[in-house]
Amino acid sequence: MRKKVIVLGANFGGLTAALSVKHDLHGDVDVTVVSDRDYFLFNPSLIWLPFGKRNSSDVTFRVEPTFDKGDVDFELSAAKGIDPVSQTVTLENGKVLTYDYLVIATGTRNRGEAIEGFAENSHTITTLESAIKTGEAWKRYLDSPGDIVIGASQGASCFGAAYEFLFNTSYQLKKAGLRGKVNLTYLTSEPFLGHFGIGGMPHGEAIVGKFFKNQGITFHVNKSISTIDDGAITTTDGDVLKNSFSMIVPPFSGQSFLKELAGLADQNGFVKVKDSYQTELWDNIYAVGLAAAVTAPWKTPTPIGVPKTGFPTEQMAHVAAKNIVHQIKGELPSVTKAFADIPAVCILDAGNNGVLILAEKMFPPRKHGMLIPGPQNHLFKLAFEKYFLWKMRNGKITLP
């Protein structure tokens, strides 16, 4: 009897894992993807959407044709429960699906409730919907400009997006003739500029600092946000940053239903995994990408998270898929890749400039790590966006 693999989630991790299992077993497996949305979202491009440089159709595509082409079934519904004893997943639409192997790639939700006033008084770019609303707020801002605060709160992990939106905001202010006429401030929980949630890079603080100096951006590091009011952000140590527009990256949580199964997830809903991306208690349940719990090898004065971006998510998904293939073949899951050992590869866009971040390991100590600034990186990011969307839309998951 053919084995059944269920994948929860249809974005970076879910699409990669589902198609990889099907590909590596030459189709001799039943794979079903379950997702509460029918599209793939290229999250890195959400930094441009509020400024009108992209729209929804530019950064998404419908996943069902991709799965049809790969002979993968698709179920449009949110999952609401997992039973590892009966090996079933219960969906919001009432269906109950059975599995032999399960991959959790459900991403995150904004934990905006961790900051008083976040939902009512700030904007963010961590989801398609929130980026669209931030774009509407930006249009209103241009009609009545003033000071701006961009930041990443305590517990945040997506620092790259905060930096990119900051530098793109600076670029848009220049185009609008407002740079130097309004104050642009970066507020972050990082212990120093250029930490990025991965411990920083050699000379990284100095390189990032030059961007701030050249563009006249002020900054506050090692900060926690107490409240966000209409027109002001207050930190826990009493700083009040008045503004006419703000964008804050909040902390993330895993999906709520994952916490209902004892032993599966931590207090924030992230699934606890081994280096094989199998869960700690169930060897036939995996978690990859944003849904997986990752512990940083350091403590910072202000709590911060670890960025689980597209590249490491793909790497995790491939490891999980290979181990499922081994198990289906009656072999032991033998592929491991600790998150800390996944290479760090990221292009940080800055409007018409940028920084290429490269290291052989996500976390230090590292033998090699560098930041390469320059306008070519903006072009690299534009090219990568087009390539990656083509790759995923066409199910070319074996390509780099």
Active-site residue identified among 158, 294, 306, 342: 158
**Planar angle of CA 180, 233, 121, nearest 5 degrees:** 105
**Planar angle of CA 307, 108, 57, nearest 5 degrees:** 95
Identify the bridge partners of residue 285 per DSSP, sorted by sequence position.
Answer: 102
| DSSP alpha helix (H) spans, 294-375 | 310-328
- Could you tell me the two tokens for 206? 């100095």
346: annotated active-site residue: yes
How far is Cα 49 from Cα 27, in angstroms, rounded to an integer?
A: 38
Contacts of 382 (CB under 8 A, 6+ apart): none
Name which of 41, 8, 97, 20 is nearest 325 in CA terms: 20
**Planar angle of CA 263, 154, 345, nearest 5 degrees:** 80
158: annotated active-site residue: yes
Q: Decide: 15 and 62 in contact? Cβ < 8 Å.
A: no
3-state helix, strand, coil in the chain (%, to 5): 35, 25, 40
How far is Cα 187 from Cα 219, in angstroms, rounded to an integer?
A: 6
How far is Cα 246 from Cα 150, in angstroms, rounded to an integer?
A: 6
DSSP for 74-87? EEES-EEEEETTTT
Contacts of 298 (CB under 8 A, 6+ apart): 199
H/E stretch holding 386: helix 376-393
Active-site residue identified among 187, 321, 346, 371: 346
**Planar angle of CA 246, 249, 253, nearest 5 degrees:** 145
Q: Give the side-chain half-sphere CA count within 13 A for 195.
A: 24
Exposure of 49 by Cβ count < 10 A (0-12 exposed, 13-18 middle, 19+ buried)? Answer: buried
Q: Which residues are catalytic?
A: 158, 346
